Structure 1
């Protein structure tokens, strides 16, 4: 891990329900917990006037309370808290959402604990937006699992 995290130049997300200049809005739901595991859902909504092409996985970084990027490995796939539908392409119509689950284990072993206060999220080809979250208590794992964009959550 680096001695000091680097700063990220992401643009803060507009207030919930407000579009960015690309006609997209991002929001994070509450953190759910189970047996030392945590997860929250990020919702991407097309609030523009035309369809948006979205595919694969969100581009993600984790920020601490000072807005500095943490050294966190982003994994794509299943986790204890979520099933990954795998990457697909969507033509996201105006008003429609896509979802991605961000999950982690708050295990603490050796090393420094990491705590995030926000994530930067972007669809491919778009500028990242900073999205505040309740908390991301990564413990010492330094790992966040992210599912592909999807129209719903898999059971």
Structure 2
């Protein structure tokens, strides 16, 4: 089975450097430069009171591409919503030399409503004969509310549990993404049955065309997301997992895509929004498996 995207596609090559690209270099002949350097970290300012530009994609735009030995691209992210969001952005690198396009990704944490955050990505690679990139495009933007961002490590959330999704597997149209639950608190965390899930569109609104089923075998067998639900008592440091299963079969009708899924580990616990990139074809259904004890 091949890996598929959770937030940003694992097939994209290259590495994001959220540190400085060095001092500003003289741009190469194929590059444009507005004179701004790629600087360390992020800076925030109020969003300009104007309509989105033609080059802006979901609030993200590339503002500068610098050449030389430390090629880098500066970008800005504008949150025109009413709550803070964390953004995952995928950039496509294009060279006039005809070299195959490459991609870079960036995560921009906690952009407040009405704010614009600037950052930079390194365009360099480990290859000495790497091309100079003449154009950088924004190809995909994913955003989740800061309060619902998945936590895979670091400080334990106030809920006492970490909940996140992996990159998943795909083979011959079958998709399986695993939800991971870790008790990082000090007490016992109990779950019983299935996580509650709600597929969401790019506008973060529920996709009503999706039918959510219990037990992965209702879509496909032998995925690990089947079996009867059992009550679990997770002690501090213990883990559980549950699978999301779907097919991307396309027959008659309009294919349904839902990049986000809001997940509740159990009733009464704050939800987490993950990005499994559901490509449900025309099947109109997704299955969720029961919580199982992890190793």
Fold in common (TM above 0.5): yes
* 2:192 paired with 1:55: yes
Q: 1:130 aligns with which of 273, 280, 293?
A: 273
* 2:152 paired with 1:16: yes
Q: Give runs of aligned pairs for residues 57-136 of structure 1, distance below 5 A.
A: 57-71=194-208, 72-77=210-215, 78=217, 79-80=219-220, 82-83=223-224, 84-125=226-267, 126-133=269-276, 135-136=277-278
Give structure 1 stretches of 5+ with no counterpart: 1-8
Contact 1:36–1:105 (CA<8 Å) still a contact in 2? yes
Q: Which has the larger radius of gyration?
A: 2
Contact 1:85–1:150 (CA<8 Å) still a contact in 2? no
Contact 1:10–1:129 (CA<8 Å) still a contact in 2? no
Greater mean alpha carbon deviation, residues 59-68 or residues 77-86: 77-86
* 2:290 paired with 1:148: yes
| 1:123 CA displacement | 2.2
- Looking at structure 1, the residues matched to 171 and 178 of structure 2 have their Cα atoms a distance apart, in angstroms, of 15
Contact 2:151–2:163 (CA<8 Å) still a contact in 1? no
Greater mean alpha carbon deviation, residues 80-89 or residues 94-103: 80-89
Deviations 1:15-63 (A, max 9, x none): 4224332111111111211111111111011111111111100000111
Length-normalised TM-score, structure 2: 0.46
- Looking at structure 1, the residues matched to 283 and 194 of structure 2 have their Cα atoms a distance apart, in angstroms, of 21
Length-normalised TM-score, structure 1: 0.83
Which residue in 1 is equivalent to 2:20? none
Q: Secondary structure at the match of 1:139?
A: coil
Contact 2:255–2:280 (CA<8 Å) still a contact in 1? yes
Structure whose residues are more often strand by fraction? 1
Deviations 1:43-89 (A, max 9, x none): 01111111111110000011122212112111111242524121100
Structure 1's 141 and 130: CA in aligned 2 closer, same or farther, altered over 3 A? same
Give structure 2 stretches of 5+ with no counterpart: 1-144
Which residue in 2 is equivalent to 1:4? none
Contact 1:118–1:131 (CA<8 Å) still a contact in 2? yes
Structure 1's 115 and 97: CA in aligned 2 closer, same or farther, altered over 3 A? same
